[in-house]
Amino acid sequence: MAESAVPSATSPQAEPSAAPLRLPIRDIVPWAVLAVVLAAILIYFVGAEQGATSVFGGTWVHEFTHDGRHLLGFPCH
């Protein structure tokens, strides 16, 4: 008994149409806020952590993020 490699439209194995995926906004908001806060911290350290606005003394943060500054177009020289 040979079986067809391509299932027919009336095959009992065909999946019914799936309902759309629903994600409540309440579940997304905390992760979105966390992502925005982390992005703001990252942009601060890459773009502004030097000179008068420096949170940490010395130049180690500047040197650590130096290539990232140039990649993102922040002037640092």
H helix runs in the chain, sequence order = 25-47, 60-64, 66-72
Could you tell me the pLDDT band of residue 7, with boundaries at 50, 70 and 90? Answer: low
Count of helix runs (H) and strand runs (E) in the chain: 3, 0
pLDDT of 45: 79
Q: pTM (2 decimals)?
A: 0.55
* Positive or negative: CA dihedral 62, 66, 72, 73: positive
- Tokens 């130049």 correspond to what residue? 59
Residue 51 is predicted with a pLDDT of 66
Question: Angle at CA 9, nearest 5°, toward 4 and 13?
Answer: 70
Which is higher by pLDDT, 18 or 7? 18
21: DSSP letter? P
What are the pLDDT digits (tens) for 11-64? Answer: 555 566 778 888 888 989 999 999 999 999 888 877 777 766 777 777 777 777
Is residue 4 scored above 70 in pLDDT? no
